[in-house]
Structure 1
Amino acid sequence: MIPAVRRLLRQPSAVRFAGLLLLLAILTPVALLAPRPELSELPERADQLGGYAPMAAIVGGALLLVALVPRTFVTLASGAIFGAWEGAAYALGAALLAAALGFAVGRLLGREFVAERVRGRLARLDGWFARQSVLGVITVRLLPISGFGMVSYGYGTTGARLLPFLAGSVIASAPTAFGYAAVGAAVTTSGDVNWFAAAPAGLGVIASAVLVHRWWRAERRRPTPT
């Protein structure tokens, strides 16, 4: 693996960036068109894995996310297999791993190309990403601009720091993880939706609105570089 990475790093930055664009161009239609199993079928399949099911859910969920499969499906599936609370926890583990993988691929394939060519407003935008705190990452994650995997790849091409990005990604994912996992659990159980487990999603909507509003006000107050 390491020799392959070294060979890749020896390629010109433009070649690596073109490879990133090609990867995204392939993954996007595949993620949209690939068939997905019914949620009701998943618990039986997971039973065949025994004690490896949680690890398979985290790793498999992460790979699906970096393959640009919507996080909604991954979280619903996790809830359908493990229930609301465990499903949410494993879905968040998958989100953390996927954020790290997507960021690493974006940094490896696209950062050098972007850093060499950003000018003017794009350079200021890149600097903004480099200065971002956890709150800034949370705000961007909550904005309806793109899917989870695509945002992870994009962040890797910027000057953003890894740890705030990972922390912000997980925090921003938490409310909907509990909500969708509760819905997924309801699909494979005879009971109704566990609204107690889904409550963080409602609180997350309120918190998201507050965070976006605070971020917007802070950006408007920030002096424009000359």
Structure 2
Amino acid sequence: MTDDTPHGAPGRHEAWLRLWPLGLILGVLALAYALGLQRYLSFDALAQHRSALAAQVAAHPVLAPLLFGLAYVAVVAFSLPGGAVMTLAAGFLFGPWLGAVVAVVGATLGACALFLAARYALAETLARKAGPRLAAVREALRREGFWYLLSLRLLPVVPFWFANLAPALAGMPLGPYALATLLGIIPATVVFAGIGAGLGQVLEAGGRPDLSVILSPGILLPLLGLAGLSLVGAWWRRRRAAD
């Protein structure tokens, strides 16, 4: 029997084994939906359980932020819906500044976990099968990926899961990915945590938070400006490399 697998390339069995992280993520996501856990990541659930949550935070002021941060990591890593609600809850439970810190750290760690899972499972296979165009994209991301991803993170209209997976599949290094994620999500997270900090009065009045404020010109235009500056940084680095 001959082995048709090219020298140095993983066999088909090994390639399938590399898919286990994504299989785990999809399995947890399917189980969460089957159990209806997404209902607990909604604004209605937050409004219903706000008193109990606030009491737990008051009783455990040190442990509560840690547990909440771990929950945020899981929500992002397993691509569960409800990231915006989690950030609102962080602001509501811990105040605008501590809430923003907990949300930023949790979202960054969760995004890095998903990034590593996708890169481990698929990036090598895609690299072997990539044509010249994708190879050029991968090389550009290695050089200026930080600036491109930073511009995506700064724009609240870009789906968070897309900005998690696309760099991993394109072969972006972890270090620039983590730093661009950390810095890029800070502005929008601070805004949402600030809204969450005033959520108690809104809920007492029977209202709902106005999340469209993130798209108002006073907030969106500065974010667009920061995203534009990050793209200018990528252009400048590429120009200097060419020179």
Partners of 1:187 and 1:144 lie apart in 2 by 20
Question: What is the CA distance between 1:134 and its match in structure 2?
Answer: 2.9
Contact 2:145 2:176 in 1 (8 A): yes
Are residues 60 and 217 of structure 1, via their aligned partners in 2, closer, same or farther at CA, if it must alter by over 3 Å? Answer: closer
Aligned to 2:8: none
Partners of 2:144 and 2:55 lie apart in 1 by 42
Are residues 163 and 46 of structure 1, via their aligned partners in 2, closer, same or farther at CA, if it must alter by over 3 Å? Answer: farther
Aligned to 1:63: 74
Aligned to 1:101: 113
Aligned to 1:27: 29
Report how many aligned residue pairs link the two structures: 210
Instruction: Report the 3-state secondary structure (helix = DSSP H, G, I; strand = E; otherwise coil) of the residue aligned with 2:198.
Output: helix
Q: Percent identity?
A: 24
Instruction: Report the 3-state secondary structure (helix = DSSP H, G, I; strand = E; otherwise coil) of the residue aligned with 1:159.
Output: coil
Partners of 2:146 and 2:194 lie apart in 1 by 27
Contact 2:141 2:172 in 1 (8 A): yes
Partners of 1:75 and 1:110 lie apart in 2 by 30
Greater C-alpha Rg:
2
Contact 1:58 1:90 in 2 (8 A): yes
Partners of 1:24 and 1:129 lie apart in 2 by 27
Question: What is the CA distance between 1:18 and its match in structure 2?
Answer: 8.8
Structure 1 portions without partners, runs of 5+: 1-8, 193-197
More moved, 110-119 vs 64-73: 64-73
Contact 2:152 2:158 in 1 (8 A): no
Question: What is the CA distance between 1:21 and its match in structure 2?
Answer: 7.6
Contact 1:70 1:147 in 2 (8 A): no
Aligned to 2:7: none
Structural RMSD (CA): 4.0
TM-score by length of 2: 0.69
- Are 1:38 and 2:45 an aligned pair? yes
Deviations 1:36-88, CA, capped at 9 Å, x for gaps: 35323245235436131111111101111122224312211111211211111
Are residues 217 and 95 of structure 1, via their aligned partners in 2, closer, same or farther at CA, if it must alter by over 3 Å? Answer: closer
Partners of 2:83 and 2:65 lie apart in 1 by 17
